[in-house]
Structure 1
Amino acid sequence: MSVMKTLIRYSLDLVLGSGKAMRIRTSQFVLAALLMLASIGVLFFMKSVGIGGMGDVRLWAACSTAGLMIVYALIRSGYSLRWADPSLAFVQMLFAIACNAAAFALAGDGRGVTLPLLAVILMFGMFGLSIQQVITVAVYGLMLFAEAILFSLLRETERTTYYLYGAYYFMVVIVLASSTFLTWRLCEMREHMRHQKLQLTQALEKIQQTANYDELTGAANRRHMLQLIQYESQRSDRSANPLLVAMLDIDYFKRINDTYGHQAGDVALQKFTKTVQEKIRVTDTLARWGGEEFLILLTETELDVGLICLERVRAAVAADVVKFAGSWISLTVSIGVTRYQPGEAFEKTLTRADEALYAAKAQGRNQIVCLQQSADTVDSMPDISKVKAG
Structure 2
Amino acid sequence: MAKQPGLTRKRTFSYNMFQPFPKDDPQQALRLRRFFMAFASYMPWTIIIILAHSLGMMRFSNTELFAFIIAEMCINLIFYVVFITGVNKRLKDPSLTTVQMLTGIMWASILAYYSHSSIRGSYIVLYLTVFVFGVFRLTLKEFLTLTVVAVGSYLLSVTLLYLNLPDEVDMGLEITRCFLLLAALSWFSPLGHYIYSLREKVVKANTELKGALAKIEQLAVCDELTNIYNRRQLFNILPREKALADRMGSTFVICLMDLDNFKQINDSYGHLAGDAILKKFALTVKNGIRREDYIFRYGGEEFIVIFTGTRHLSDSIETAERIRTSIENLSFPEISDELKITVSIGITVYQHGEPVDVLLSRADDAMYKAKQKGKNRIEYIAPPGPETMPD
Give TM-score scaled by structure 1 length: 0.80
Partners of 2:138 and 2:193 within 8 A in 1: no
Structure 2 distance, partners of 1:339, 1:33, is 70
The offset of 1:357, in angstroms, is 0.8
Secondary structure in structure 2 of the residue aligned to 1:336: strand
C-alpha offsets along residues 362-389 of structure 1, whole Å, 9 cap, x if unaligned? 0111100000136xx9xxxxxxxxxxxx
> 1-side partners of 2:105 and 2:299: how far apart?
70
* TM superposition shift of 1:276: 1.2
Counterpart of 1:67 (choices 68, 71, 76) is: 71
Summarize deviations over 1:225-278 as a string: whole Å, max 9, x none. Answer: 111111001111111222111111111111101211222211211121111111
Kindly provide the CA deviation profile for residues 143-190 of structure 1, in whole angstroms up to 9, marking residues without a partner as x.
11112333455556899x544323211111023223332332233223
Distance 1:132 1:167, change over 3 A: same
Alpha-carbon contact 1:253-1:292 (below 8 Å) kept: yes
Question: CA–CA distance in 2 between the matches of 1:60 and 1:103?
Answer: 12
Map 1:351-366 to 2 at 5 A. 351-366=361-376
- Change over 3 Å in CA distance of 1:63–1:175 after alignment to 2: farther
Give CA-to-partner distance per residue, 1:10-69, whole Å, 9 cap, x none.
xxxxxx94342497477335413303313303522552xxx6xx6446466334213213
Q: Which residue of structure 1 lines up, in the alignment, with residue 383 of structure 2?
A: 373
Aligned: 1:211 with 2:220: yes
Q: Deviations over 1:265-319 (max 9, x none)?
A: 1121112111111112222211111111111111111311110010011000001
Match of 1:117 in 2: 126
* Amino acid paired to 1:205: A
How far apart in 2 are the matches of 1:230 and 1:279? 24
Instruction: Point out where structure 1 has 5 or more consecutive residues left out of the alignment.
Output: 1-15, 378-390
1:225-240 equivalences under 5 Å are: 225-240=234-249
Question: In structure 2, what is the equivalent of residue 193 of structure 1?
Answer: 202
Unpaired runs of 5+ residues, structure 2, are 1-15, 23-31, 386-391
More deviation in 78-87 or 273-282?
A: 78-87
Q: Could you give the per-residue CA deviations for residues 99-148 of structure 1, whole angstroms, max 9, x where no partner exists? A: 32233343223322222232223223435667665444322212111123
Distance (whole Å) between structure 2 residues aligned to residue 87 and residue 64 of structure 1? 25
Match of 1:328 in 2: 338
Matched, 1:308 2:312: no
1:268 equivalent to 2:272? Answer: no
Q: CA deviation at 1:86?
A: 7.7
| Alignment partners' CA distance in 1, 2:50 and 2:296 | 72
Match of 1:338 among 348, 361, 366: 348
Give 1 or 2 for the bigger CA radius of gyration.
1
Structure-1 separation of matches of 2:227 and 2:84: 48
Q: Corresponding residue for 1:10?
A: none
DSSP 3-state at the match of 1:328 = coil
Residue pairs, 1:82-101, within 5 angstroms? 82-83=87-88, 84=91, 90-101=98-109
**2:151 and 2:182 in contact (8 A); partners too:** yes
Whole-Å Cα distance in 2 between the matches of residues 57 and 186 of structure 1? 41
The aligned counterpart of 1:18 is 18
Task: Specify the alignment match of 1:245 in structure 2.
Answer: 254
Shift in CA distance, 25/290, structure 1 to aligned 2, threshold 3 Å: closer
> What residue identity is the alignment partner of 2:181?
V
Q: Aligned match of 1:287 in 293, 296, 299?
A: 296
1:139-154 map, 5 Å:
139-151=148-160
Q: TM-score, normalised by structure 2?
A: 0.80
- For 1:352 and 1:98, how far apart are their aligned partners in 2? 79
The DSSP-based 3-state class of the residue aligned with 1:121 is helix
The residue aligned with 1:184 is 193
Contact 1:60 1:103 in 2 (8 A): no
The separation in 2 between residues aligned to 1:99 and 1:281, in whole angstroms, is: 62
Gap change, CA 1:240 and 1:86, over 3 Å in 2:
same
SS in 2 for 1:335: strand
Partners of 2:219 and 2:69 in 1: CA distance: 60
Contact 2:116 2:168 in 1 (8 A): no
Query: Between the two proteins, what is the percent identity of the paired residues?
Result: 29
User: Could you say what secondary structure the match of 2:43 adopts?
Assistant: helix
Distance, in Å, in 1 between the alignment partners of 2:68 and 2:168 is 31
Which one scores higher on RCO, CA 8 angstroms, separation ≥ 6?
2
* Structure 1: distance between partners of 2:379 and 2:168: 108
